[in-house]
Structure 1
């Protein structure tokens, strides 16, 4: 039996299976793989819902659901004997990782325990866990990735809570050097004028989670930003440009959307 059939046969994964179906991930979990699934049982989901003040219906309708589930899946077949203390495992929500610690048991991200390991399936393995793993959102990911100026700007503009919201969002994130390349005094002026700064930042955000493979297919088209103005996407020599800025890294996935890195600041 594949991973989905194995979970169905084992019982106790009603919410997980419903979530996989709602998020459109059933086919992926029934695919060739191999995959390793850290699977919260129904008790884990019930505890999570209670602590979060959510109903199962609200969770299943959350736009972040697919990303949450992808954070529970690691490419390859990783048995419990392959796990070592202090290692990290990159998930399908790349580059988000799960930290592994071993101390009187196997723990994920410090506080979620593997309670039933090594349930083998034809296309991978399931490890049952006692909690729901929660990936970093756009702001947390930007902080960890070292987008210092962008994060400072988001804070000054009062957009932190918005970019930590359910989304989903696509953020074209300028590196620090992109802000430094602005004409002299412009960055300082923007940081002193939160409303203008917010307009500039919203010009870097598109509603929805637009992955690189979709962006490439938008050659010559304009996409609307959260500012209400559009940016034109062009492909030249296999590279993606948003007007003059070039996309230098793609598909940094997060809880509530995706980040693509650009080398210049977009100015509306």
Structure 2
């Protein structure tokens, strides 16, 4: 992805390097992959981690590594592209004004109004404060452990969380959350799948509108990332027979398919997963 000269967003809150965080006892990407699989597959990985980690309190601030500084600059640039795209798309397709989210970068653990965030939660969006949360170590997890490397795959992660903010701006996220509280767990999971696939589709809309920044292979990186974090793939990777009633993000084919649908059209209207008879 060509990001040289792209405006970096100012809506970034960088909490990395601050004191007071709690680091994972084992540290490193090897542990994060276990946590990431648990998050995306909806699997309780606690038994695998008992006695393997010892949370460590750290009160000292530290300098960010070169890799962390690069990840921060990359994230700010990608966030800047989402602001430009959704400003234009909201105006042209909806006649509305887009209010962008804040991206919180953290390392290890942090706090949000939606609860504590750590490598165990993976990237997520909190509608309570309209912020997306990202431990930039997750980029390494994707590349080294989930076989979903590449700069555009990493950009897709940010675009997906911003897409949840788009859903929040449109009132979709709040309505789905209200319905989920009134239905069974299986029904709630099914609604969550449609919500996540819609975010994948909206990520595709973003990708279509930054087409001038794409390089050869970028689209395949994004589609591969979508496939690698499909519920069926991650449950199988964790040694389980895929259980569709537990899916919360969609299958590999569904995630890649909806991303491509958004990319092919570039239109928000094609992302109506809730009105689709088949996903």
Q: More strand per residue: 1 or 2?
A: 1
Q: TM-score, normalised by structure 1?
A: 0.29
TM-score, normalised by the number of residues in structure 2: 0.29
More helix by share: 2
- Give the number of the structure whose alpha-carbon radius of gyration is greater: 1
